[in-house]
Structure 1
Amino acid sequence: MMNLRAMILTAALGGSLSACAAVDIPSRNAPYESLPAYVEGVAEGYQEIDHLAPEFQPQAVTPVVAVGALTGPGTAAQKSPLLGSGVSVSKVNVRVPRTLKVSEANRYLPQGDIVWREDPVGDRHAQVQAIVQAGLERGVHALEGPVATELDVEVLRFHALTQKARYTTGGVHAIAFTMVLRDAETGEALTPVRQIEANFTAYGGRRALVAIAEGQTQKVRITQELAKVIQQEILRPGSRTPRRGGLILALNKL
């Protein structure tokens, strides 16, 4: 009898110990218990605040141009590039260095930095400067951002077609220049100096004659192309893919 009672006590003790060792299941993800029916109200400080919710909703954000960051100390290369939607260009300065070599040779691929024949023989540097100036001014005319800038450009190469290429094979208008946007008041560079390649197809033969008859002279087409190129390079720097002319374009750069 004693052994039976000992066995019963031992089993009861073991059960109580195993109950203490049971793992408690986390309840942080369990749904809240419903309140008993006799609870008619909510404790002070726990009332719903739905009427305040709109104050915490995100509001529309107006883009801000950080003018101070662009005009503060530091080099132009360290500053964020300006987007065209944030700038306006009050003045375009085009320089055609007198060190650029002019070629008047009537060959398919004359050597030189400036090849231009559509104006009468004269100051080719001044003629090229006027063409580039007109094209760039047309391109920046539509920019109306809050940051007033000036555009500085230096022509590196201006190759149109010679008479021989114009009336036979055609080729490539190979035009290159550097550009930088400066603060209109201080003259400080707001963007790094970048080299731009504005190369595009030059008509020749019958196609050139048709274009001339329609008023699409070399000067007109170059002016239009420069306007498009400068606008793209200010609005989306580096997004434009320049025309690749292969061997002809490479020779035309000599």
Structure 2
Amino acid sequence: MKPTRMIMALTVALGLSACGSVDTAMRNATTSAPGVETAPHAQPATRADMVLSVQSEPYAVTQINVTVPETLKVSEANTYFPNADIVWREDPFGNRHEQVQAIVLDAATRGAASHDKGRPVIVDIQITRFHALTEKTRYTIGGTHDIHFYLTVRDAATGEKLERPRLIETSLKAYGGARALEAMSRGQTQKVRISDHLAALIAQELNVRSLPAPAEPLRTSALSAN
């Protein structure tokens, strides 16, 4: 192989490798999201910050709040991988933010159902990405359902944050072509599979603890010494 062709081949190989890494999920990264208070001293929890619930007081979930910020970009483009935060097609055309909120709230409610004994808490979930399949992808090659969200646990009586917010990035294999049609015939729609996956994941997340939320910084006078 001539040197020029070898360089071109290596370039193509590296490009394919980069594309293949797009759907790799990373658990509890430390990036921030709109609407989440993550001061430098209060970064989202990492996996190393987690401990098993047997070492901690159990939670009794009394309320779940799901937020899907309007700042999240929605795409209706029927391409293989739209550049957007929200890609959802299985419900009729409408407000995708509200549709995603309903899906996640249903899943979280089922996931938290068994957490009914212990310290009463409120669970806040803020979606940062909800990427299901477009029609083109679903009926051809399939792909990955990619969902990211922050989970925050607060005391039900005081509203105090009990843990640092966790950034959870999860993915689920998405069927395509004949396999997608076969799954749909059994009632395993995208919505059902995603909801079941999130319910199991949230139930699991409520069995672990992150580092305690740091104390609120003391408020100081507007006047300060130079």
TM-score, length-scaled by structure 2:
0.68
Q: How much does 1:189 deviate?
A: 0.4
Number of the residue aligned with 2:58: 86
Output one character per residue of 1:122-181: Cα deviation in whole Å (capped at 9) or x when no partner: 100000000010011110001123100010010000000000010110000000000110
Query: 1:161 touches 1:202 (CA, 8 Å); kept in 2?
Result: yes
Aligned to 1:149: 121
**Structure 1 residue 231 and structure 2 residue 194: aligned?**
no
For the Cα contact (< 8 Å) 1:76–1:189, is it kept in 2?
no
Structure whose CA Rg is larger: 1
- Give the counterpart of 2:94 among 122, 128, 132: 122
State the AA in 1 paired with 2:176: G
Relative to its length, the structure with more strand (as a share) is 2
Number of residue-to-residue matches in the alignment: 164
Unaligned runs of 5+ in 2: 1-41, 211-226
* Corresponding residue for residue 207 of structure 1: 179
Paired position in structure 1 for 2:163: 191
Contact 2:50 2:208 in 1 (8 A): no
Q: How far did 1:81 drift?
A: 6.2
Q: Give percent identity, aligned residues only.
A: 50
State the distance in 2 between where 1:210 and 1:80 align. 39
Residue 176 of structure 1: aligned partner? 148
Q: Deviations over 1:34-87 (max 9, x none)?
A: xxxxxxxxxxxxxxxxxxxxxxxxxxxxxxxxxxxxxxxxx8999996838711
Q: Distance in 2 between matches of 1:190 and 1:203?
A: 38
Which residues in structure 2 correspond to 1:44-55 (within 5 Å)? Answer: none
List 4+ stretches of structure 1 deviating above 4 A.
Answer: 75-82
**Code of the aligned partner of 2:113:** H
TM-score, normalised relative to structure 1: 0.61
- Secondary structure (helix, strand or coil) at the match of 2:161 reads coil
Residue 101 (str. 1) matches residue 73 (str. 2) = yes
Give the distance between the partners of 1:202 and 1:77, measured in 2 at CA. Answer: 28
Please tell me the residue identity of whatever aligns with 1:108. Y
Aligned 8 A contact 1:179 1:193 in 2: yes
Question: Once the two structures are superposed, what CA deviation does each residue of 1:90-121 show, in whole Å capped at 9, x if it has no partner?
Answer: 11100000000000000010110000000111
- Counterpart of 1:138, as a letter, is R
State the distance in 2 between where 1:154 and 1:170 align.
27
Q: Counterpart amino acid of 1:211?
A: A
With over 3 angstroms needed to count, the CA separation of the structure-2 counterparts of 1:237 and 1:211, relative to structure 1, is farther
* Displacement of 1:234: 1.5
1:198 is displaced (CA, Å) by 2.0
Greater relative CO, 1 or 2 (CA 8 Å, sep 6+)? 2
Cα distance in structure 2, aligned partners of 1:164 and 1:80: 39
